[in-house]
């Protein structure tokens, strides 16, 4: 806005004291100060409001005005509430430096002027940014990408003073403001993603408001251009619910550090346009995965149909340069299997599992600006299968140091995914060991599938298991028939549970601690904060009630398995 527009606004009570020839200057902001040197808080183009508390005598005016001019401010407005008329020495200094000077009537609060300027400047910036966003959208939809989400976030920061981040549904940071400044911590990203998924699943309209500590964020969904899922509002909207579940676990989100609850419609429309622009980039990245998905599908079909190892190896030689460009030696390979299951059947789970697995595998494999270039994921039925290349290592190592580990795979994404699946869905994953050649892929696929079944036997919405667990009792437990499990645990543990219920004796916790301590009386007593004699009394009661002897390995093993299956 121009200085002349401020002078023409009667409600502001401004009176021009000097600088009539400079009224076409542009005002880009407003600042109130009574500091003798406010330069550190000025960036240029401001209307500076002052109550003149910095002025002790006439000699102070000249250096104060000089500082403002050097900072590039648009004009100075001095209040008349404290000193009455604006001092002549200030008017002389402003005239000498060609700085427009206004007097503010004592009946007008600085807050009134500030609010007016901010509203006008913000509206103009929003209009300018909307035009830029529209041009950028046209460029991106008709030609190569225009710089990706980072460019749009830079526009939000420079033109609207909004800090914003693009996040994946798993809480991965895809793009952020520049210069970076204080960023979002990984746990904050995960929390925002979880809140967003929960809000979308329950049908709340965006933007979604989230408060973390002293900061308020507004979350805007970024939906792919071809998808506009309907939000369920009634129990009869079953098909709409399925649409949401097909997309909510794959769509990105825009987290803005602001409370959008009191924004004008124009600004909300602008942010919706920004999300549509970022969605174009999302669709481009998704399309870039087509080649990798096709490679994985071809290799998977060869493995499952029993093709000759030489034929599989030939296909892997084609895949390796695509997934690990520039790698000289053939990589090792690992297989990760994922399955999404809906309690009510739900939408087609294979594509959902494929999108989730592609996203989950990004963090453990991060290598540069587009880390997902290293993975290839196919889907068959309700199952998604990832072919993961690992850099080959020297022969004296088995490659385990480069493996994707099941526990690490879900460490950062369990919270948001649990929110996205809460109420009617589960995600289970299995991870194979690394194999050196095509001959090992069929075994790796079966190993990953077995590990996934072990994960499926565990409680929770999001679970994973690795190949290391297949050499443990945990491989056997999930496949014991339910009636056998119940009978076995009841025979051993029900007498202890009944006794605990009647006497509050805590025999079950004591048994668990005793086995965890490998039968060590002193370590177990220390863990439970008991005297050793008290611990011996409890163990004796356990043996009496169950007719077992906890000094015998066989009986310890039976109790251990019963506790695991309970």
For residue 278, CA distances in Å to 259, 273, 352 come to 21, 9, 21
For residues 42 and 52, what is the distance between their CA atoms, to the nearest angstrom? 17
pLDDT at residue number 560: 86
Torsion of CA 244, 247, 252, 256, to 10 degrees: -10
pLDDT, position 229: 40
Q: What average pLDDT does range 258-273 have in this prediction?
A: 80
Give the domain ranges of the chain: 3-108, 144-288, 291-477, 482-565
Which of the four pLDDT bands, split at 50, 70 and 90, describes residue 322?
A: low
Q: 51-84 as b/e, with b when 16 or more CB fall inside 10 Å?
A: bbebbeeeebbbebbebbbebebbbbbbbbeeee
Give the per-residue pLDDT at 355.
Answer: 84
Cα dihedral 229→230→232→237 (10° resolution):
-110
pLDDT band at 106 (very low <50, low <70, confident <90, very high): confident
Beta strand ranges found along 401-475 (DSSP E)? 425-431, 462-466
pLDDT at 194: 87
Q: Tell whether the model's pLDDT for residue 353 goes beyond 70.
A: yes
What pLDDT was estimated at residue 224?
A: 65
Summarize the confidence of residues 174-182 as an average pLDDT. Answer: 71
Position 28 scores a pLDDT of: 79
Q: Which residue has the higher pLDDT, 529 or 480?
A: 529
For the domain spanning 144-288, the CATH number is: 3.30.450.40
pLDDT given at position 143: 39
Return the CATH fold of 291-477.
Alpha-Beta Plaits (3.30.70)
More confident residue, 142 or 534: 534
For the cut 60, the answer to whether the pLDDT of residue 47 exceeds it is yes
**Which pLDDT belongs to residue 139?**
42
Domain made up of 482-565: CATH architecture: Orthogonal Bundle (1.10)
Average the pLDDT over 137-141 and give the result. Answer: 47
Average pLDDT over residues 41-47: 85
What percentage of the chain exceeds 90 in pLDDT?
19
Tell me the mean pLDDT in the region 267-278: 79
Cα 467 to Cα 432: distance, rounded to the nearest angstrom:
5
- pLDDT of 240 over the 50 cut: no
List Cβ neighbours of 251 (8 Å cut-off, separation of 6 or more): 169, 221, 222, 223, 224, 227, 282
Weakest mean pLDDT among 353-357, 481-485, 541-545? 481-485
Q: Whole-angstrom Cα distance, residue 469 to residue 108?
A: 74
Give the pLDDT band of residue 231 (cuts 50, 70, 90): very low
Highest mean pLDDT among 254-258, 269-273, 401-405: 254-258
Taking 70 as the threshold, does the pLDDT of residue 97 lie above it? yes
At 400 the pLDDT is 43
At residue 111, the pLDDT reads 80
Q: What is the mean pLDDT of residues 376-391?
A: 83
Look at 13-17, 190-194, 196-200, 340-344 and tell me which has the smallest mean pLDDT: 340-344
Q: Which residue has the higher pLDDT, 312 or 237?
A: 312
Of the two residues 73 and 397, the one the predictor is more confident about is 73
- The answer, yes or no, to whether residue 272 has pLDDT greater than 90, is no
Q: Do 482-565 and 291-477 have the same topology in CATH?
A: no
Q: What is the pLDDT of residue 245?
A: 64
The answer to whether residue 401 scores a pLDDT higher than 50 is: no
Q: What percent of the chain has pLDDT over 70?
A: 77
pLDDT tens per residue across span 406-453: 666 766 667 777 766 766 778 888 888 888 877 888 888 888 888 888
Residue 112 makes CB contacts below 8 A (sequence gap 6+) with 11, 12
DSSP conformation class of 87: P
pLDDT surpasses 70 at 296? yes
What integer is the mean pLDDT of 88-114? 90
In the predicted model, is pLDDT for residue 325 greater than 80?
A: no
Q: Which pLDDT band, with edges at 50, 70 and 90, does 473 fall under?
A: low
Higher per-residue pLDDT: 362 or 384: 384
pLDDT of 368 strictly over 70: no
- Predicted confidence band at 142 (pLDDT cuts at 50, 70, 90)? very low
Burial class (CB in 10 A: 0-12, 13-18, 19+), 420: buried
Render pLDDT for 28-39 as a digit per residue (tens, 0 to 9). 788 888 888 988
pTM of the model: 0.57
Question: Which CATH number is correct for 3-108, 3.40.50.2000, 3.40.50.300, 3.40.1390.20, 2.40.10.410?
Answer: 3.40.1390.20
Residue 88 or 326, more confident = 88
Instruction: Report which of residues 408 and 486 the model is more confident about.
Output: 486
Mean pLDDT for the stretch of residues 503-525: 91
The per-residue pLDDT of the chain, averaged, comes to: 78
Give the pLDDT confidence score for residue 420 in this predicted structure. Answer: 66
At residue 407, the pLDDT reads 63
Angle between helices 507-516 and 553-565 (to 10 degrees): 120
Token pair recorded at residue 310: 């030489």
Residue with tokens 């004009």: 75
The most confident of 82-91, 394-403, 533-542, 552-561, by mean pLDDT: 533-542
């Amino acid at each position: 806005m121009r200085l002349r527009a401020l002078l023409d606004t009667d409600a502001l009570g401004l009176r021009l004291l000097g600088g009539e020839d400079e009224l076409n200057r542009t005002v880009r902001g407003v600042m109130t100060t009574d500091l003798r040197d406010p330069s550190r808080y000025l960036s240029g183009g401001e209307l500076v409001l002052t109550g003149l508390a910095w002025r002790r005598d006439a000699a102070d005016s000249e250096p104060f005005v000089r500082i403002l001019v050097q900072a590039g401010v648009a004009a100075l407005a001095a209040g008349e509430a404290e000193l009455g008329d604006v001092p002549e020495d200030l008017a002389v200094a402003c005239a000498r430096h060609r700085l427009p000077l206004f007097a503010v009537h004592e009946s007008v609060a600085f807050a009134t002027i500030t609010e007016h300027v901010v509203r006008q400047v913000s509206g103009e910036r929003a209009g300018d940014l909307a035009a830029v966003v529209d041009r950028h959208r046209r460029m991106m939809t008709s030609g190569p990408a225009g710089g990706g989400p980072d460019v749009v976030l830079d526009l939000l920061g420079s033109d609207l003073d909004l800090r914003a981040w693009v996040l994946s549904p798993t809480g991965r940071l895809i793009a952020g403001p520049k210069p970076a400044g204080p960023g979002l911590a990984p746990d904050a990203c995960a929390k925002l993603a979880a809140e967003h998924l929960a809000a979308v699943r329950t049908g709340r309209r965006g933007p979604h408001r989230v408060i973390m500590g002293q900061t308020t964020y507004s979350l805007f969904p970024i939906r792919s251009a071809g998808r506009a899922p309907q939000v369920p509002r009634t129990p009869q909207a079953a098909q709409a619910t399925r649409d949401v579940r097909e997309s909510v676990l794959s769509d990105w989100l825009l987290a803005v550090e602001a409370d959008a609850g009191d924004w004008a419609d124009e600004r909300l429309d602008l942010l919706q346009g920004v999300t549509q622009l970022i969605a174009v980039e999302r669709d481009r990245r998704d399309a870039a995965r087509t080649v990798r998905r096709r490679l994985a599908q071809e290799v998977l079909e060869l493995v499952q149909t029993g093709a000759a190892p030489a034929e599989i190896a030939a296909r892997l030689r084609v895949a390796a340069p695509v997934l690990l460009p520039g790698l000289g030696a053939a990589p090792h390979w690992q297989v990760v299997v994922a399955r999404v299951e809906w309690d009510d059947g739900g939408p087609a789970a294979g594509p959902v599992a494929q999108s989730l697995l592609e996203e989950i595998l990004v963090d453990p494999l991060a290598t540069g600006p587009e880390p997902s270039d290293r993975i290839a994921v196919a889907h068959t039925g309700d199952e998604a299968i990832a072919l993961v290349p690992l850099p080959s290592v020297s022969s004296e190592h088995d490659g385990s140091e480069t493996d994707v580990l099941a526990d690490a795979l879900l460490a950062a994404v369990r919270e948001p995914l649990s929110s996205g699946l809460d109420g009617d869905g589960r995600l289970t994953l299995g991870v194979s060991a690394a194999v050196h050649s095509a001959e090992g892929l069929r075994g790796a696929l079966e190993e990953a599938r077995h590990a996934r079944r072990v994960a499926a036997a565990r409680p929770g919405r999001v679970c994973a298991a690795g190949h290391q667990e297949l050499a443990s009792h945990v491989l056997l437990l999930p496949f014991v028939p339910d009636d056998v499990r119940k009978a076995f645990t009841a025979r051993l543990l029900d007498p202890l549970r009944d006794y605990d219920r009647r006497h509050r004796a805590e025999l079950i916790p004591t048994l668990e601690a005793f086995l965890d301590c490998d039968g060590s009386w002193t370590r177990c007593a220390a863990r439970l904060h008991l005297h050793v004699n008290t611990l011996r009394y409890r163990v004796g009661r356990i043996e009496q009630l169950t007719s077992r002897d906890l000094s015998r390995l066989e009986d310890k093993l039976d109790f251990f398995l019963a506790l695991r299956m309970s």
